[in-house]
Amino acid sequence: MSGLVVFIILVALIFDYINGFHDAANSIATVVSTRVLSPMQAVAWAALFNFIAAFGFGVSVATTIGKGVVHPDAVNEYVILAGLFGAIAWDLITWHYGIPSSSSHALIGGLTGAAIVNAGVSALIPAGIYKILLFLVLSPLLGLVLGFGVMVVVIRLFWRARPGRVDILFRRLQLVSAALYSLGHGTNDAQKTMGIIAALLFSSGYLGREFYVPTWVILSAHAAIALGTLAGGWRIVKTMGMRITKLKPVGGFCAETAGAVTLIFTAIAGIPVSTTHTITGAIAGVGATTRLSAVRWGVARQIVWAWILTIPLSAAIAAASFVLIKLLYL
């Protein structure tokens, strides 16, 4: 294996690590804001299930990223390296300002931006792009509808119960919902890095004629995202868990359950979605069951603008990175 390929694999795993601490808030924000777990306990709990996700959900999302977004003929080492630079740069910018944005769409934006500069717009696979853009809109809506629906069902089931007992019950249940959400986060987000590494190995001739994801890539990607989650990301936790709407344990349970169902379903279907979009929609859906004004829509608008800008700006950074790499090395 060439030195350049090894270097790019390391950069991909660094992206996966950054994805972990950037998106750790998605897994732990509700369980921390409801004070069910301390921040350190929560990140350890989430990291454990991020890694366990390696053993049960296949590689459908990795296959979509690896060969369903950009034509393999248009992918080379420099395209992947530039795409990773674009995604990492955007993740660090949004993390610095405490803005929840999608690492998944930053990666897709970076990959497409570099591929377009390398081989033109024809390098993109329209069906894959359309599916990703469709779920850019649908994933927060699914989270919102499911979060609202689960909360309504829970309210109807427990409306006669004493508030103190409900609080104790859902503090325990939130450990389960946080674990399920972390499984969904791990299987969806780690697979994106797997797809990038597998695409690199395939385009470099290390996988032969058939595209597949080696076992060592699966384990490495899940280990990297789990370690990143352990590093945490308190700035985004505060936005997700406290500034969108005020949550109690019952609301945290409903939001995490709605997010987990969405993420696991889309992972099995091979659809790369944003964990950030999903949990944000679910938290807003839970808040809306109280009253629409319980959701701080001004904060939500700021987050939506970050979503809209993620793909084009990460693509622009990646395109500039590709040009710079070509000037330096070609």
How many CB atoms sit inside 10 A of residue 5's CB? Answer: 18
The count of domains in the chain is 1
CA angle 179, 50, 52 (to 5 degrees): 85
Q: Which domain holds residue 240?
A: 3-329
Answer yes or no: is pLDDT of 169 > 80.
yes
Mean pLDDT, residues 44-50: 87
| 14 band by pLDDT with thresholds 50, 70 and 90 | very high
pTM over 0.75? The answer is yes
Q: What distance in Å separates the CA atoms of residue 215 and residue 217, rounded to the nearest whole number? A: 5
Distances (CA, A) of 300 to 127, 140, 156, 307: 29, 11, 27, 11
Rounded percentage of the chain residues whose pLDDT exceeds 70:
87
Instruction: Tell me: pLDDT of 210 over 90.
Output: no
Q: Could you read off the pLDDT of 290-309 as tens digits, one per residue?
A: 765 555 556 566 667 767 88
Look up residue 28 and give its two tokens: 């732990």
SS3 content of the chain, % helix, strand, coil (to 5): 80, 0, 15
pLDDT at 239 over 60: no
